């Protein structure tokens, strides 16, 4: 599929939970809608927190989406008329998402992906590091630390009211009941190896 115009590029919206990543993704989708662009929105099937078939922010902004199990499913929906592909929670996809996003951008499609840059252990999350490296535009948002109220750049997982242990599973889909935004100094990961 070749596009006549060369608007293709990659935009990444990242940061911790509660930073407004999905809200910003939806804002950019709305702007593209006003411009009458053909938009396709995807989210991983694993993310069923708020709605099936919709990307939903923590503030309840929403837009229709297609749930997909794997990155290659995107290719079944995109064609030569597609102007914009938006992907929420991109950290949940494996590394297959990277060449797919890069290929779409090279074909003239604007790709916007949002997702966590680090997991609860404060380690790079899934394909995000590579996407940050190849993107033309990166916006790293911050939240507010629930402890000291400074800028938060970390996602704190909470289990029974306490910080999750380093050995807990990496992926646990949740919201306010399982996660908090924290700054570097208030973020805790018991059992994390010292470097």
Q: Is 188 a catalytic residue?
A: no
Candidates 52, 89, 96, 177; catalytic one = 89
How many other C-beta atoms can be found within 10 angstroms of the C-beta atom of residue 27? 14
Query: Which own/partner pairs from 117-121 qualify as long-range (CB within 8 Å, at least 24 positions apart)?
Result: 117/14, 117/15, 117/16, 117/91, 118/16, 118/154, 118/155, 119/91, 119/155, 119/170, 120/155, 120/156, 120/157, 120/164, 120/168, 120/170, 120/179, 120/189, 121/166, 121/170, 121/189, 121/192
Determine the Cα angle at 74 with ends 69 and 79, to 5°: 160
Q: Looking at the annotation, which residues are catalytic?
A: 89
């Amino acid at each position: 599929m070749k596009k006549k115009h060369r608007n293709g590029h990659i935009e990444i919206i990242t940061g911790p939970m509660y930073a407004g990543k999905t809200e910003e993704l939806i804002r950019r989708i709305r702007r593209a809608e006003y411009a009458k662009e053909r938009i396709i929105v995807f989210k991983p099937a694993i993310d069923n927190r708020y709605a099936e078939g919709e990307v939903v922010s923590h503030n309840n902004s929403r837009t229709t989406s297609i749930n997909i199990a794997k990155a290659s499913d995107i290719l079944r929906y995109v064609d030569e008329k597609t102007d914009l592909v938006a992907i929420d929670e991109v950290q949940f996809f494996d590394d297959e998402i990277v060449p797919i996003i890069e290929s779409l951008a090279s074909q003239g499609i604007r790709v916007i992906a949002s997702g966590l840059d680090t997991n609860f252990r404060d380690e790079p999350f899934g394909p995000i590091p590579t996407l940050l490296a190849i993107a033309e535009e990166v916006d790293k948002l911050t939240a507010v630390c629930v402890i000291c109220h400074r800028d938060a750049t970390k996602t704190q997982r909470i289990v029974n009211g306490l910080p999750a242990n380093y050995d807990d599973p990496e992926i646990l889909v949740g919201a306010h009941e399982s996660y908090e935004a924290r700054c570097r100094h208030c973020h805790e990961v018991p059992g994390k190896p010292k470097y």
